[in-house]
């Protein structure tokens, strides 16, 4: 787990709530020499425990509701602990009352993954391919949400009435109304060709998907001459065909890794799955801007600009789906 804000304030470690929780793990671990406060938002918090990890490395402590941390904890304990793949050290979890808990994970070293660097995208493709193959063997018994095509279609259908009700109840300016009308047209078009999406996914293996691979959730680096790709923040994870994780990676590098286990998942299939991955990424982005905040005046202009961009991207995806083939232009979009 990396620290997303290196400018967080520091405080003494003694008697800090994260230190006390760390000590309750029951392990013979060194105490942190300082605590960096990376996030304290409501009942959720993230801290960096300086020097507490193996070899004097740092540990990331996440605190939140069991509902919020449940998926991430399940991934670490029931999937990543069972697969032979290079990963961050998971130290464990402790409960904090009946409804909240802490999880402790090694802090990721290296630098943020740069999606514009081809070598790093190839490295990501190889690591993600190895993870997908390994996780597919254990995922059937793991209680993670299904985030496949059926779930994504339901999410699409949840977005539409929110937009329609907003158009009926709020006096939107003409430019903003045009954005929302265009988004509705794009969503209608996407649902109309959902059979094509089902075709893309029907023969694909089901595995663990992270759901949000991007620079803020992954680091790259080198250890004794070997490159590595380290991933954290698994709260959006689930079980699905591996489409959503293929949006920003090198398709050929991924296909080369999975070919021995999944002969039918060749380069063309990976590119097809990535198209659906773009569908998911853009739908998730639309949901983020629409559900619970569409009518808010806060950041309304920037929200409308974002929705306009997502509408354009969905339009490109629709044209790609209508042609029935993937295109290298889509790597890095979404």
Provide the pLDDT for residue 324: 61
pLDDT of residue 256: 98
Res 318: pLDDT: 92
pLDDT of residue 3: 53
Torsion of CA 230, 239, 95, 37, to 10 degrees: 40
Cα angle 242, 248, 250 (rounded to 5 degrees) comes to 85
First to last CA, the chain: 23
What structural domains does the chain harbor?
A: 10-106 (3.30.200.20), 111-330 (3.90.1200.10)
For residue 155, how many other CB atoms are within 10 A of its CB? 16
What is the full per-residue pLDDT of the chain (334 aa) written as tens digits?
655 444 579 999 999 999 999 999 976 778 999 999 999 998 899 999 999 998 899 999 999 999 989 999 999 999 999 999 999 999 999 999 899 999 999 999 999 999 999 999 999 999 999 999 999 999 999 999 999 999 999 999 999 999 999 999 888 999 999 999 999 999 999 999 999 999 999 889 999 999 999 999 999 998 877 899 999 999 999 999 999 999 999 999 999 999 999 999 999 999 999 999 999 999 999 999 998 888 888 889 999 999 999 999 999 999 988 876 444 333 333 4
Quick one: pLDDT at residue 278?
A: 94
- Of 324, 326, 321, give the one whose Cα is nearest residue 191: 321
What pLDDT was estimated at residue 28?
Answer: 74
User: Tokens 């158009």 appear where?
Assistant: 167
- pLDDT for position 26: 78
Instruction: Write down the pLDDT at residue 7.
Output: 59
How far is CA 255 from its chain centroid?
21
Specify the residue for token string 């949400």.
145
By the 8 A CB rule, do 91 and 21 touch? no
Nearest CA to 252 out of 279, 271, 227 is that of 271
In 249-272, which positions are buried (b, 16+ CB within 10 angstroms) versus exposed (e)? bbbebbbbbbbeebeebeeebbbb
């Amino acid at each position: 787990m990396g620290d997303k804000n290196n400018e967080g304030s520091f405080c003494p470690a003694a008697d800090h709530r994260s230190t006390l929780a760390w000590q309750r793990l029951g392990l013979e671990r060194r105490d942190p020499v300082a605590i960096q406060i990376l996030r304290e938002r409501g009942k959720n918090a993230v801290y960096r425990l300086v020097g507490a990890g193996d070899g004097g490395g740092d540990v990331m402590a996440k605190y939140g509701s069991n509902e919020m941390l449940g998926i991430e904890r399940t991934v670490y304990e029931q999937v990543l602990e069972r697969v032979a793949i290079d990963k961050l050290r998971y130290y464990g979890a402790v409960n904090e009352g009946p409804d909240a808990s802490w999880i402790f994970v090694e802090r990721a070293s290296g630098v943020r993954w740069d999606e514009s660097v081809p070598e790093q995208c190839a490295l990501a493709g190889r690591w993600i391919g190895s993870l997908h193959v390994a996780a597919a063997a254990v995922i059937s018994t793991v209680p993670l949400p299904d985030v496949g095509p059926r779930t994504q279609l339901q999410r699409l259908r949840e977005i539409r009435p929110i937009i329609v009700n907003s158009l009926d109840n709020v006096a939107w300016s003409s430019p903003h109304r045009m954005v929302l009308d265009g988004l509705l047209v794009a969503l209608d078009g996407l649902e109309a060709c959902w059979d094509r999406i089902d075709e893309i996914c029907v023969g694909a293996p089901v595995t663990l998907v992270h759901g949000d691979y991007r620079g803020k959730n992954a680091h790259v680096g080198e250890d004794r001459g070997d490159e590595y790709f380290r991933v954290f923040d698994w709260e959006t994870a689930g079980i699905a065909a591996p489409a959503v994780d293929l949006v920003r990676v090198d398709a050929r590098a991924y296909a080369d890794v999975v070919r021995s286990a999944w002969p039918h998942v060749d380069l063309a299939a990976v590119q097809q799955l990535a198209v659906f991955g773009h569908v998911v990424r853009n739908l998730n982005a639309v949901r983020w801007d629409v559900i619970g905040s569409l009518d808010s005046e806060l950041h309304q202009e920037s929200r409308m600009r974002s929705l306009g961009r997502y509408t354009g991207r969905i339009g490109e995806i629709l044209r790609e789906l209508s042609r029935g083939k993937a295109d290298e232009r889509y790597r890095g979009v979404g």
